[in-house]
Amino acid sequence: MMIMLSRSNRNRLLEIPEILAMVAVTIAGLLDMTQPAERILVAILLAVFALILFAPIFWSGHGIRVHAGLAILSALVAVLLTLRPGWNFYPILFFLMAPTAMIHLSPRAGFTWIGLFTLITGVIFVMAEGFLGLAILLPFAAGYIFFGVFGWMTVEADRNRARSEQLLTELQTAHRQLQENAIRAEELAIVQERNRIARDVHDSLGHRLTVAAVQLEGAQRLVHANPERAEKIIATVRDQIREGLADLRRTVAILRATVDEDLPITEALARLARQFEEATGLAIHLALDDCPERLPLAYRQAIYRAVQEGLTNIQRHARASEAWIQISQRDGPITLLIGDNGAGMPAATGQDAEGHFGLVGMKEKAALLGGEFFIDPRPGGGTQLTFRLPAPAEEAHG
C-alpha cells in the first residue's frame, strides 16, 4: 500500500539526513582540530550554519531572503574551508545547500548558486594543492550537481502532484455536474414521456369517446322515429369503443413493459416483442444472435427504450404489418436496427428526426452515451432506424 505524505511531512522527512550530515560534519570537524581555540571557532561557525540552514525565516519568504541565506552559508563554508586547507569534510555542507537552492529558487538561479559553490571549493583547493586541487574538486562538483538535481526533481514532483490533485478536483467536479445533468435529463425525459402519453390518450381514446357520445345522442333521438338508423349508429359507436379499448390496451402494454435490471437484454427484448405482438397484432422478427451478452445497465436501458419507441412509432405511423429488430456488435460499436414494411417516412431522411418527439428522444438517448441515430429508407420498402452506441468500457459491464 502506498503511503502519501503531505508537503510539510515530506519537508520534515528531508530534514533528517540534513541533521545527520550536520552532526557528522561537526564531530569530524571538531576531532580534526588540535587547538582548543580552533575547536571553539569551528563549533561556533557550524552552530551558526545550522541555525541559518534550519531557520524558516530564510526559506519561507521571497527570493531575496533565500539569496541572503545562501550567501551567509556560503561565507561560513568558505571560512571553514580555509581553516583546514586541502581535502576536508566541510564541502559536504555545500551538498546540503545545493538542494536547498534548487527547491526555493528557479532552476537558473539554483544552478547559478551551485556553480558558485563549485567555484568557492575549487579556488580554495587550488590555493592549497595547486592544480591537483582541480582533480580533488571533481567529485565534489559532481555531488553538488547531483544533490541539486535531486532537489529540483523534488520540486517538480510536488508541482506535478499539485497539478494532478487540481485536475482530479476538476474532474470530480465535472463528473458531479454530468451526473446532475444526467439526472435532470432523465427527469425531463420522464416528464416529456408523460406528456406524450397524455397526448396519445387524448388524441386517440378521447377523440373516439367524444365521437361516440355525439353519436349516442343522435341514436337516442332516432330510437323511436327511425329504429333502423339508430341501430346502425349504435353499431358504429360499438366499433368506436372497441377501437378505443384496443388503443388503451396498447398504451397500457407500453407502460407496463419495463426493462428488468437483472434480465439480459436479449430476453428483455424478446419479452417486449411478445407483449407488443399480443397488443397490436404486429409481426415482429428478432435477430439478436450477435447481441453482446453483457452490457452496462445504461446501455441496456437505452437499447430497450429505443426498441420500445421504435415499435410504438411503427404501430402508430408506419401502417406496417411486420417489423424487424436486429442488434450486432462489429468492429467495436453496438448497432441496433429497427425496420418495418410500412409506408415509410418521406419527411424524415438521413439524420432528420425533428418533428417526431419519440425519434428526437431516441436521438438524445444515443448522444447521451456518445452514440448516434439515423433514419433511412429500408431496403425493400418501409423505414429503418439505426441506433448506434460506442463499445462500452469493460469495467462498466454489469
Q: Tell me what pLDDT residue 334 has.
A: 92
pTM above 0.75, yes or no: no
Answer whether CATH 3.30.565.10 is correct for domain 262-393: yes
The per-residue pLDDT for range 110-152, each reduced to its tens digit, is: 899 999 999 998 888 888 878 887 888 888 889 889 988 888 8
Report the distance separating Cα 257 and Cα 309, nearest Å: 11
Spatial separation of the C-alpha atoms in residues 49 and 87, rounded to whole Å: 20
CA pair distance 1, 186, nearest whole angstrom = 40
Residue range 259-312, pLDDT digits in tens: 555 678 888 889 888 888 887 788 999 998 888 878 888 888 889 888 988 888
Q: How much of the chain is in helix, strand and coil states, percent to nearest 5?
A: 70, 10, 20
Quick one: pLDDT band at residue 162, thresholds 50, 70, 90? confident
Each residue's pLDDT tens digit, 307-325: 988 888 888 788 889 999 9
Spatial distance between the Cα atoms of 326 and 168, rounded to a whole number of angstroms? 40
* pLDDT-above-70 percentage for the chain: 84
Q: Which of 73-82, 152-161, 237-246 has the highest mean pLDDT?
A: 73-82
Whether residue 3 has pLDDT greater than 60: no
pLDDT above 50: residue 355: no
In order of 212, 240, 249, 316, the CA distances from 204 in angstroms are 12, 10, 12, 10
pLDDT greater at residue 173 or residue 395: 173
Cross-strand partners of 329:
334
- Using pLDDT thresholds of 50, 70 and 90, give the confidence band for residue 346: low
pLDDT score at 289: 82
pLDDT at 397 over 60: no
Categorize the per-residue pLDDT at 337 as very low, low, confident or very high, splitting at 50, 70 and 90: very high
The string of pLDDT tens digits covering residues 11-69 is 555 677 777 877 877 787 777 777 888 888 888 988 898 888 888 888 776 678 889 98
51: which 3 cell numbers? 541555525
What is the rounded average pLDDT for all residues in the chain? 80
Positions of CATH 3.30.565.10 in the chain: 262-393
Q: What band does 202 get if pLDDT is binned at 50, 70 and 90?
A: low
